[in-house]
Structure 1
Amino acid sequence: MGGTPGRTLGTIERIWRYPLKSTGGELLDEAAVDTRGLVGDRLYAVRDTEGKFGSGKNTRRFRRMPGLLRLRSRYPGDAAGRPPELLDPDGEPVSDATAYVRRYLGRDDVEVAREEAVSHFDQLPVSLLTTATLDWVRAAVPGVPVDERRFRPNLLVRTPPGTPAFVEDEWFGGTARIGGTLRLRFERSSERCPMTNEAQQDLPHSPRILRAIAQAHDMRLDALATVARPGRVRLGDTVELL
């Protein structure tokens, strides 16, 4: 199934899915990936009556709704089946996601809604981040707790020792094979917003993180990809640049 060997970029260390956009996500051992991205990823969002989705920023499609990152979401079973569960800041599932979000945000003009014609993704379907770049961020903001949750990737890639920070930039325009059949085409990086600084679960608010990325790398961090061939991704899969 492997085909022609490519250049090994690393291995899959963590797989993240975010059933409800802008909330904390769920760690997976494996995931199906279709042309939209990880199946079920950001399939739901908090939507207001103007059709804007809860986010960490204000844009044409998104409305800033502080506090969503302190919540988490997960699928109780098949991602293509029932809606996700919403977990409160203590990690307890709530019985009615829309009713809870209205109380939590203090506004009655929002609902938890499934994606329709307008995409919930900020940019492209799949985000990858390397441990090399994550280690650089940690070193750049000593004393500030940092892990990949700050940057909300789908895939954290364990890179070999000595790999430089921002190595993801070298991948753009290329296609990677992950596991047996999955193919991702690397397009560009994400432009980071203040959501990177926000508190979530055990990570405190810190403006130093976004400031460091702005100074060192023009606000950009990760590799965004489109899905060239659907497949599955599993922990420990090799990521090869074809």
Structure 2
Amino acid sequence: MARDSVLGTVERIWRYPIKSTGGEMVEEAEVDARGLVGDRLYAVRDAGGKLGSGKNTRRFRRMPGLLRLRSRYPGGVTTRTPELLDPDGTPVADPTGYVRHHLRRDDVEVAREDAVSHFDQLPLSVLTTATLDWVRAAVPGVPVDERRFRPNLLIRTPPGTRPFVEDDWFGGTARIGSALRIRFERSSERCVMINEAQQDLPHSPLVLRAVAQSHDLRLDALATVAHPGRVRLGDPLELT
């Protein structure tokens, strides 16, 4: 493998057990055809079958407040039902009951994925530190980290890497670790969710505005899984 084929290294791995809530950082994860095992496997679903999200579409229903909550798998075991954590980080005893109270809606439940995928688009979202640093510079005074963009993988890119370098990867296949292969397809079209308050990140309309003005609302690289495998912190991301 040529040295210049290394695009960066895996700096953080994020999994979101319950869609549209804050997720959990993990040191390693299995990745299958669906994506990170356990990622967005559960969602808040209303009586019409629409999924809680930051936007209204044919499949999704905007439910402000979900991002103030977090979810995690007890002990990191993805075969177990995930825990829902309140804004103080305390696990709640009854996730559905808590969400109904939190959202002030009695028609929602925390439900496991069935025939309808919980993903907005493709299985994996990959974001670089080069692009994240650009966003920080574009909105000085607004706290920004990768949680606003909800990637699965944050890739540490070499110094001098230009922002939005992810665009150069579309159509290519990359290796992560010994077995995992992913294919970069396109970028996400961003919505107001990246402005929303979550934990210690305040609401700000400037984030979406900056991405819209400079990069047509698009930010990250969405990927499909060409070959399953395992991803670990520090793994190189190599274009094949």
TM-score w.r.t. the length of structure 2 is 0.98
Q: Which residue does 1:146 correspond to in 2?
A: 144
CA contact (8 A) 1:22 1:55 kept: yes
SS of aligned partner of 1:177: strand
* From 158, 166, 169, the counterpart of 2:167: 169
CA contact (8 A) 1:5 1:240 kept: no
Q: Which residue does 2:27 correspond to in 1?
A: 29
Per-residue deviation at 1:81?
Answer: 1.6
* From 42, 45, 48, the counterpart of 1:44: 42
* From 199, 222, 228, the counterpart of 1:201: 199
Provide the alpha-carbon RMSD of the alignment: 0.9
Q: Which residue does 2:118 correspond to in 1?
A: 120
SS of aligned partner of 2:202: coil
AA of the residue aligned to 1:57: K
Give the unaligned 5+ runs of structure 1: none
* From 92, 95, 98, the counterpart of 2:93: 95
SS of aligned partner of 1:210: helix
**Structure 1 runs of 4+ off > 3 angstroms?**
77-80
Cα distance in 1, alignment partners of residues 2 and 139 from structure 2: 38
CA contact (8 A) 1:172 1:186 kept: yes
SS of aligned partner of 1:136: helix
Q: Which residue does 2:129 correspond to in 1?
A: 131
AA of the residue aligned to 1:234: R
Give the unaligned 5+ runs of structure 2: none
Q: Which residue does 1:16 correspond to in 2?
A: 14
Q: Which residue does 1:56 correspond to in 2?
A: 54
More moved, 147-156 vs 77-86: 77-86
CA contact (8 A) 1:39 1:79 kept: no
* From 71, 74, 77, the counterpart of 1:73: 71
AA of the residue aligned to 1:139: A
Per-residue deviation at 1:56?
Answer: 0.1
Aligned length: 239
User: How big is each residue's C-alpha offset from its partner over 1:67-99, in whole Å with a ceiling of 9 and x where there is no partner?
Assistant: 000000000035442210000000000001000
SS of aligned partner of 1:77: helix
AA of the residue aligned to 1:237: D
Q: Which residue does 1:238 correspond to in 2?
A: 236
User: How big is each residue's C-alpha offset from its partner over 1:157-205, in whole Å with a ceiling of 9 and x where there is no partner?
Assistant: 0000000000000000000000110000000000000000000000000
SS of aligned partner of 1:170: helix
% identity of equivalent residues: 80
Q: Which residue does 2:224 correspond to in 1?
A: 226
AA of the residue aligned to 1:178: I
